[in-house]
Structure 1
């Protein structure tokens, strides 16, 4: 087995960023949390106040021999609106901004290449504004946020549809809303 690596992605509400990665081969864990800010050990309340500089994100521990980083980035794009820098769907503000946080030069290059390819594909008429930033300390969110789609499946499904995420993914990525 290869040495496990970590990938960190922010794409709006972290509840909706766990399920798409959780069942993929080579994924060992997907943890909801906070990163990118200037406060140690922030809480959900602190992050959503907009004063910590953190964004909601997921930290994925994976086996790169089974699930290459580039494939993780492709899954990531299909969970987001990469043209919206002000948040994602109904969730607005910096704590919901879309970011790919890289942990190595190889991750940075793969993310930048993938972003360039998406921009050049013409899939979106607006520019791809998702930022690619060096990873900062990652702080796991409170336990009730972990695996939310499993613990509170009805609430999760209502949120995914009500926020506009499921409809957007269906329209732009041909993703089945029932899967999100």
Structure 2
């Protein structure tokens, strides 16, 4: 009897552990992450980074450069011209939460896709808008997103569809610029980077243009 009672106790404890483990694993099985990366160019990478980092499903956004012919370019070299690179962000996201087509829908409403000369107050080839695609499936999704944006605006869009290209992160100085408390010298005197970013964005007229272009369809105008 004693031995049987001990065996029954062991079975009961083992069953309890198994049930507990199953309960703990249930949320993990309910959401199998589909982690992907994509690269988009929307003018000032500080702004695109600031817009997308809070979006549900976004894991990380890194400012950088892509599309050119110079390896590991500096920010100064890119904005000076001649490298062929665009200011871009590399977005890592969970496609189970934020599908690719939804990400592109949001991206096109965070920029002016009708501007072929740059974005907002930033002019020149390095500030052109683009979507970099990895394969035929992404290209088809991007083409559909661009067509829908054109239909919504009632005018042509010029955001380029480009093949995937190597991504080069920008200097640490540029990452999470909009969040930084680091003090820098601006034309208005010493300011935290986060404050300087807000001043730049306001002066650049980015949000005014987004509201004028997209109205309530833009989720990013401050």
Question: Which category of TM-score, normalised to the shorter sequence, fits these structures?
Answer: over 0.9
Q: Which of 146, 152, 159 is equivalent to 1:130?
A: 159
Partner of 1:163: 204
1:173 CA drift (Å): 2.2
Q: Distance in 2 between matches of 1:111 and 1:178?
A: 23
Where does residue 49 of structure 2 map in the other structure? 18
- The answer on 1:148 being equivalent to 2:177 is yes
Secondary structure of the corresponding residue to residue 15 of structure 1: helix
Query: Of 47, 52, 73, which aligns to 2:78?
Result: 47
Describe the shift of the 1:75–1:45 C-alpha distance in structure 2 as closer, same or farther (beyond 3 A): same
TM-score, L = length of structure 2: 0.76
How many Å apart are 1:3 and its aligned residue? Answer: 3.5
- Matched pairs, number: 177
Provide the residue aligned with 1:72 in structure 2. 103
Structure 1 stretches of 4+ moved >4 Å: 175-178
5+ residue gaps, structure 2: 1-31, 181-192
Q: CA offsets, 1:40-74, max 9 Å, x none?
A: 00000110111100000000001111110111101
Q: Note the aligned Cα RMSD (angstroms).
A: 1.5
**Distance in 1, Cα, partners of 2:92 & 2:151:** 30
Could you tell me whether the CA contact under 8 Å between 2:33 and 2:95 is conserved in 1? Answer: yes
Q: How does 1:93-104 map to 2 (within 5 A)?
A: 93-104=124-135
Distance 1:70 1:112 in 2: 10
C-alpha change, 1:177 and 1:109, in structure 2 (3 Å) is closer
How far apart, CA to CA, are the structure 1 residues paired with 2:145 and 2:105? 8
Higher helix share: 2
Relative contact order (alpha carbons < 8 A, sep ≥ 6): 1 or 2 greater? 1
Equivalent-residue separation in structure 2 for 1:98 and 1:76 (angstroms):
10
- The answer as to whether partners of 1:20 and 1:75 remain within 8 angstroms in 2 is no
- Deviation (angstroms), 1:104: 2.3
Aligned equivalent of 1:109:
140
Cα distance in structure 1, aligned partners of 2:98 and 2:118: 28
